[in-house]
Amino acid sequence: MKKRFLIPLGIILMPVTALLAALLTEKINGTFVSGWQFLIIAVIAIIAAIILVMAVKLPKFIAGAIVVGLLLSPYFQFMFGKINVFLMDPPDLRPSVSVPEVRVEMGDLIFTNDAGRDIVVLPSSGVKTLYPGKNVVNLGQMDIPAGTYKSGKMSVKNIEVDVNVDLKKEIDLMYDTFKSQYMPPLPADMPEEAKAMIPGDEEIKQRIGGEIGKYLNAGMIAPYLPPFVKIKSFSQTADTIAMVLSAAIDLPVMPIAFPYPTGTGGPDIVLDITLNAIGLPTGITPIIKLPPGAPDISSMIPDMTPNIGNINMPTDFNIPAAALEQIKREVEAGVAQGEAIKQQMMRQP
């Protein structure tokens, strides 16, 4: 190939390669590659270019243009790709709690332009299913006409959370709480007669299990829930509680102001459905996804947490402290009896 054609061909190949790779990545991945994916792509591209140069005598300038185009593709994706909106949820749950499934139905995403006109940029996509910690659901691509925008709003039609509670694990958790907060120290030389008066570990667990059985039911849990969370269904066996929580969360208007002159490009958005330790849906946190190497600007996004006031959101299934205090008193009574027996034995000739 004549050298005079190499430079213009390389100049053309670089953006074409970047754009094609960007569109392919968006179609397959839905969003930008991660840092480690970007590194893998870079290594493969460089190795492939070296092989092409050595094996088929591809001009080095052309091979380099293709490699540079691949490395620029995430940034072309940012400039020319659509803004995708995702749902995800990696909860930090109590050890006794599991959430096998979350079903979310979002309303329309509406932006208001500087003329005061409401524009639906992302229509409601129906019910989407999340498997916490395992998947991210693409709600679709925003279609934002070129212009300037001053606010946005999105509604949550419904969130349903399947919550399972392993009662054996919950009993162990409450037993650990009892041992660390209530259990008085036992003297090493306690007489056997006094030891017999003190509840053993298994008896304490049985007592705690009985209290949990009385406490963990729909009627006892419901008063602790915030008004926007309802118990849709509740079932209980000897070992497990299974309930479905339903929430309708009103999200505040997003006071955002931004120009969007071209009608294309921009970061992707992840809406993290936040659950507390026992699986209660508490709000939505937006996370901004940018190409590798870009600064994290999530802190610049307005807080979308719903206004739930000063509600005491429960984060565990603590049984009434009075039940643990009662067991503590029985243990203390046994210790006191042991001390009395030891004193009596010391007085004996």
Q: Quick one: average pLDDT of 54-81?
A: 82
19 and 39 housed in the same domain? yes
pLDDT over 80 at 348, yes or no: no
> Residue 304 — very low, low, confident or very high, per pLDDT cuts 50/70/90?
low
pLDDT (mean) for 298-327: 69
Is residue 25 assigned to a domain?
A: yes
Both 261 and 322 in one domain: the answer is no
Q: Which two tokens stand for residue 343?
A: 């004193």
Q: Which domain holds residue 119?
A: 84-165+227-300
Same-domain pairing of 341 and 194 = yes
Indicate whether 75 and 23 sit together in one domain: yes
More confident residue, 171 or 35: 171
In-domain check, residue 310: no
Single-letter code of the amino acid located at 282: T
- pLDDT greater at residue 32 or residue 122: 122
Q: How far apart are CA 266 and CA 278, in angstroms?
A: 36
Query: Does residue 306 carry a pLDDT above 60?
Result: no
Q: Is there a single domain that holds both residue 212 and residue 261?
A: no
pLDDT greater than 90 at residue 295: no
In a 3-state reduction of DSSP, which class is residue 119? strand
Locate all alpha helices (DSSP H) within 81-216, ordered by sequence.
Answer: 167-181, 192-195, 201-215
For residues 138 and 271, membership in a common domain is answered with yes
Chain centroid to CA 100: 13
| Same-domain check for residues 278 and 322 | no
**This prediction's pTM:** 0.73
Residue 90 — very low, low, confident or very high, per pLDDT cuts 50/70/90? low
pLDDT tens digits for range 172-231: 998 998 888 888 887 777 777 777 778 888 888 988 888 888 888 888 888 878 788 899
pLDDT at 281 over 60: yes
Listed residues 15, 50, 80: the one ending a domain? 80
Q: How many CB atoms lie within 10 A of CB 290?
A: 18
Question: How many separate domains does the chain show?
Answer: 3
Rounded to whole angstroms, how far apart are CA atoms 178 and 172?
A: 10
Query: What single-letter amino acid sits at 221?
Result: I
Q: What is the mean pLDDT of the chain?
A: 82
pLDDT at 242 over 90: yes
Residue 158 inside a domain? The answer is yes
Contact 279, 161 (CB under 8 A): yes
Residue entry with tokens 């100049």: 11
Residue 340, domain member (yes or no): yes
Please state, as a whole number, how many other Cβ atoms lie within 10 Å of the Cβ of residue 204: 22
Q: Tell me, what's the pLDDT at 303?
A: 58
Of residues 271, 219, 242, the one with CA closest to residue 96 = 242
What's the pLDDT at 309?
46
Look at residue 306 and tell me if it is in a domain. Answer: no
> Are 157 and 172 in the same domain?
no
Instruction: Tell me the pLDDT band of 65, cut-offs 50, 70 and 90.
Output: confident
* SS3 sequence of 89-100: CCCCCCCCEEEE
Q: Is residue 60 located within the same domain as residue 197?
A: no
Query: Is residue 136 in a domain?
Result: yes
Residue 242 lies in a domain: yes
Give domain status of residue 51, yes or no.
Answer: yes
Using DSSP's 3-state secondary structure scheme, residue 318 falls into coil
Residues 159 and 236 in one domain: yes
| Cβ atoms of 76 and 18 closer than 8 Å | yes
Residue 119 has pLDDT above 60, yes or no: yes
Q: Are 269 and 333 in the same domain?
A: no
pLDDT band of residue 278 (cuts 50, 70, 90) is confident
Q: Output helix, strand, coil percentages for the chain, rounded to the nearest 5.
A: 40, 25, 35
- Looking at the structure, tell me whether residues 291 and 231 fall in a common domain: yes
Q: Which of 31, 55, 80 is the last residue of a domain?
A: 80
